[in-house]
């Protein structure tokens, strides 16, 4: 994600995998991810004009996950603002950053 944002990388970004479930046939994995940022302006940078940046980020992440897991990935991504998350110990722990 950060590679695509180039010079506009917002500080305070974390990704949380909310759900990860393999379908019964085993050929597709459904993944739901939330990208958390600290400011509404950061959310706009991540989503981009008409959602184009989020589409690029999601597409690259899906490709990387398909290569890693060796199966098709159905990836759903959301962007949410959680102000001051880096200053809240519980959230840092939930994101696995401690």
Query: How far are the Cα atoms of 61, 65, 80, 88 from residue 68, in angstroms, in the given order?
Result: 11, 5, 26, 32
Residue 82 pLDDT: 85
Q: Is the pLDDT of residue 2 over 90?
A: no
User: What are residue 46's phi and psi, to 5 degrees?
Assistant: -70, -40
Does residue 74 lie within any of the structural domains? yes
Does residue 95 lie within any of the structural domains? no
Does residue 72 lie within any of the structural domains? yes
Does residue 40 lie within any of the structural domains? yes
The total number of residues shown for the chain amounts to 98
Six token digits for residue 17: 């995998």
Q: Where are the alpha helices (DSSP H) in the chain?
A: 2-5, 40-47, 52-69, 89-94
Give the total number of structural domains in the chain. 1
Residue 42 pLDDT: 87
31-75 residue pLDDT tens: 999 999 888 888 988 899 999 999 999 999 999 999 999 999 999
How much is the average pLDDT of 20-34? 93
Q: Residue 21's domain spans which residues?
A: 2-84
Does residue 26 lie within any of the structural domains? yes
The pTM of the whole model exceeds 0.95: no
Does residue 96 lie within any of the structural domains? no
Does residue 27 lie within any of the structural domains? yes
Report the CATH number that the domain containing residue 16 is assigned in CATH.
3.30.300.20
Does residue 92 lie within any of the structural domains? no
């Amino acid at each position: 994600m950060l590679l695509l944002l180039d010079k506009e990388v917002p500080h305070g970004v974390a990704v949380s995998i909310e759900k990860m479930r393999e379908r019964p046939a085993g050929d597709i994995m459904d993944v739901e991810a939330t990208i958390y940022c600290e400011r509404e302006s950061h959310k706009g940078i991540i989503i981009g004009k008409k959602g184009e940046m989020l589409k690029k980020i999601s597409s690259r992440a899906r490709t990387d996950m398909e290569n890693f897991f060796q199966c098709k990935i159905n990836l759903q991504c959301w962007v949410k603002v959680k102000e001051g998350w880096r200053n809240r110990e519980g959230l840092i722990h939930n994101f696995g950053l401690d």
